[in-house]
Amino acid sequence: MHQKKTIVELRALDVMSDATTLLQAGMNADEAGQVFKVNRITGAPVIDEEGQVVGVLSVTDLLAYETGVDIGSKHSARLYHMSDLIRTIEPNEKLEVRSLKDAKIEELMTRNFVHAMSHTSLAAVASLMLERKVRRVLIIDGGRLMGIVTHTDVLKAVSRGIGEA
């Protein structure tokens, strides 16, 4: 009989989703937005022609580009969150509107993406999310993308654990 793991025993591999929705580095941002919309997701790994992960693109990245909000050094350090972006926009401010059709994913994606290995504890993955202000952590073993742990996956695991207490 398979015994259920407690929250402290859970690893990334226990809660991760398959990384089935991937973006190609050569796509434009408008195409990526359509992928997000169709799949009802807010971000995805970006792969190159060889299938290697080269970055992550999120809705926040697309909104920052489209609105012209400069998140500059915060973006490169990945120390921003959607709430930071919203706070930078003043209600009466005129924004430069740019077309997502003109931007390539490789220009907008985060190259310094957050990742962990499949045996990493769920607590460590959650800590990474909080420290780096991200909603997803890519699970990579031996250079191969194994899956993704999202903030929703962590919340589901925590709520299951609380319900069983």
Tens digits of residue pLDDT in 69-81? 665 544 444 444 4
| Per-residue pLDDT reduced to its tens digit, 78-114 | 444 444 444 444 444 544 555 667 788 988 898 889 9
**Contact status, residue 114 vs residue 139, Cβ threshold 8 Å:** no
Residues near 70 by Cβ (< 8 Å), separated by ≥ 6? none
The domains of the chain, with CATH numbers, are 7-164 (3.10.580.10)
The number of C-alpha atoms within 13 Å of 15 and in the hemisphere containing its C-beta is: 31
Q: CB 57: neighbour CB atoms within 10 A? A: 26
Q: How far is CA 82 from each of CA 26, 135, 161, 163, rounded to the nearest angstrom?
A: 25, 10, 28, 30
pTM above 0.85, yes or no: no
